[in-house]
Chains A and B, each alone.
Chain A
Amino acid sequence: MLFPTLDFGLFFLPVLLLVWTVGLASNEWRKIILLLASWVFYGFWDWRFVALLIASAAINWGCAQAIQRRLDDGRSAQPWLGIGVAANLAILGFFKYFGFFLEQLAPILARAGWGRDLPVLEIILPVGISFFTFQGMSYLIDIARRQTAPASFLDITLLVSFFPHLVAGPIVRASHLVPQFKAVPRLTRGMVATALILICWGLFKKTVVASELATGLVDKTFFDPSALTGLDLALGAYGYAVQIYCDFSAYSDMAVGLAALLGYRFPRNFDQPYRATSLQDFWRRWHISLSSWLRDYLYISLGGNRGGVWFICRNLMITMLLGGFWHGAKWTFLIWGALHGGVLAIERLWREWRPEGFPALPKPIAILIIFHIVVAGWIFFRADTLEGALAYFTQLWAFRPGLTLASPVLCGLIALGLAIHFTPPTLLPALGRRVAALPAPVLGLAVGLAILLTDAMRFEGVAAFIYYQF
């Protein structure tokens, strides 16, 4: 069940009604309604994986209790923390990486004469598994670090299952969401107005901008780059940069908006990433909940900045390689991670060794350079295979003249997708304040007309969000 579908609308409206009627009388019932709704939502993909969600919540709840008991007794939390993190990694590893490792292992074992005994398993990847397992691990680490207290079984199960963030984030941490579950939420007019703006804007970005670019330009350029001109391929790469931003940020916007209508505050996940002046700046603006997760639970655990410059570069490289691998078991994701890790390391070395008085790059030039490094990374990220990515670069470099694919409207959508990065960062709160002041019927009419306009412009059918596969 995808957010921009009537199926989801018909699911969400009764949930909203129940939560704000039955749920107002009892916070426990409110959470039970949300939990059951989340399981129905997840069950639309595959009912069997609801059991996986419950198992994941039960493991994390049990380990959290054990960690807290050991901490209360003045003992080390490490044994149970290790078990809990290993269990989460085992779930993730089995469903997401088992096939990849088997593929890599097969030729090695074949050379040694053992290849025939390898099992062939067609493992279905449960939607959102990378998100809920990371959420579970951060919960256990936070408890071991005494940064949060263990939650009740209901709260932790709801945290893992809560449908607005379940399948593609943001990765909402227990320390942020569980305290909200404990109190009856309160809606403000500002929250309602901003939530409705985010939902409408997310619908537009996904169903118009991302879908048009995907089907009209990006899918074709990546399908057969050899048949296209250099300008087509350049626009295809820019188009994918806009598509992935509009696709993923649209999901986050809608998730934040839907959660807000239910009374919960999710953190910001994007902050105009293509206006970044360094790659470090980019990672403070792109998929913020993942980058801060990697920083807090991986980079810092590896030693972070506590060491020499080469030690820091090593940590950056490992973090970004694993960040790439988190996206999927493919060499293209690893190379994407290595590219980001390498550039982050170079930036670090430059900060360390930059000659005194050496002038800094003008801001627009820095933005342009970083944007093109990010776009180069996206080519690896989008390509189905490593050979496909290299063929794309080869054809791009050859730069055959002409333009066959990108129509004026597609160029306009690329320009729009980039231009929104240079609007004032205070635009949304300012708009939210204005919209909150509108009379409710006018607001409702405006929302209805905005959705109607988007529906008239949208592509027939809705493709799954790019991040569903992760």
Chain B
Amino acid sequence: MADQFDSPVDVEADEQGLSGLAQMAVAVGIAVFTLAMLNAHALGAWADGLEPGARTARISAVAHGLADQAATRGLDGPRAALKQQWDRVKAARWPDQASGNQDQR
């Protein structure tokens, strides 16, 4: 049973090598880079949601430029393939069950 003040992050691990702060900095940096490369279209979609204006137009141009470059190099492929597989799994129905009940997208 958990104590009311114990924290899930109180994990005693081997602290050899990089410090916790350096570990976080490198890990977060690489995670952001990975997402910027493989999920660049999300930046474009986010930029489309900004209020129109001169500054947001520049942000949008940069975001869409990045997304287009990623798409040209096929970097958006893994996400698209994953999504396609997941959509196929979601479309499955039990025998005799009508299809299309949960097609919300």
Q: What residues of chain A have their CB less than 8 Å away from a CB belonging to chain B?
A: 6-7, 10, 13, 16, 20, 176, 186-196, 198, 212, 215-217, 220, 253, 256-257, 260-261, 265-268, 271, 284-285, 288-289, 292, 403-405, 407-410, 428-429, 432-433, 436-437, 439-441, 443-445, 447-449, 451-453, 455-457, 459-460
Contacts and interface: CB of A to CB of B under 8 A. Distances in A.
Nearest to B92: A408
B101 A7 contact: no
Nearest to B47: A6
Question: Which 6 residue pairs are nearest across A and B when measured between Cβ atoms?
Answer: A444-B30, A448-B34, A190-B13, A187-B20, A436-B13, A440-B26
Given A187-B19, A194-B11, A404 B1 contact: no
Nearest to B20: A187
A457 B84 CA distance: 9
A444 B28 contact: yes
Interface string B53-93: 00000000000000000000000001110110010011011
A192 B102 CA distance: 38
B15 A403 contact: no
A455 B4 contact: no
A114 B59 CA distance: 58
A188 B20 contact: yes
Interface residues of B, number: 55
A268 B1 CA distance: 11
B5 to A, nearest CB: 5
A171 B25 CA distance: 28
Contacts of A261: 24, 28
Contact of B92 (A13, A188, A409): A409
Interface of B: 1-2, 4-15, 17-35, 38-39, 42-43, 46, 78-80, 82-83, 86, 89-90, 92-94, 97-98, 101-102, 104-105
A188 B101 CA distance: 47
A451 B38 CA distance: 11
A433 B35 CA distance: 25
Given A187-B24, A192-B23, A284-B1, A265 B34 contact: no
Given A215-B104, A429-B11, A448-B38, A186 B5 contact: no
Given A187-B24, A188-B20, A444 B83 contact: no
Given A216-B101, A288-B2, 16 more contacts: A6-B43, A187-B19, A188-B13, A189-B13, A195-B9, A266-B9, A284-B1, A407-B92, A407-B93, A428-B11, A429-B11, A433-B11, A440-B22, A444-B29, A451-B35, A456-B83
A445 B30 contact: yes
A260 B27 contact: no
Given A267-B4, A405-B101, A410-B102, A448 B31 contact: yes
A268 B86 CA distance: 32
Contacts of A459: 104-105
Contact of B9 (A6, A186, A191, A405): A191
A192 B34 contact: no
Nearest to B29: A444
B71 to A, nearest CB: 15
24 contacts: A176-B5, A187-B24, A189-B17, A189-B19, A191-B11, A194-B8, A268-B2, A284-B2, A403-B94, A403-B97, A407-B94, A409-B89, A409-B92, A440-B26, A440-B27, A441-B26, A444-B26, A444-B30, A447-B31, A448-B32, A451-B39, A455-B39, A456-B83, A459-B104
Contacts of A433: 11-14
Contacts of A217: 102
B67 to A, nearest CB: 13
Contacts of B92: 407-409
A428 B8 contact: yes
Contacts of B105: 459-460
A432 B18 contact: no
Contacts of A220: 101
Contact of B7 (A216, A265, A410, A443): A265
Contact of A266 (B7, B20, B30): B7
A453 B9 contact: no
Contacts of B10: 190-191, 265
Contacts of B104: 215-216, 459-460
Contacts of A460: 104-105
Contacts of B18: 189, 440
Contact of A444 (B1, B34, B89, B97): B34
Contacts of A439: 17
Given A266-B7, A440-B26, A448 B35 contact: yes
A90 B11 CA distance: 41
B15 A189 contact: yes
A347 B89 CA distance: 43
B21 A404 contact: no
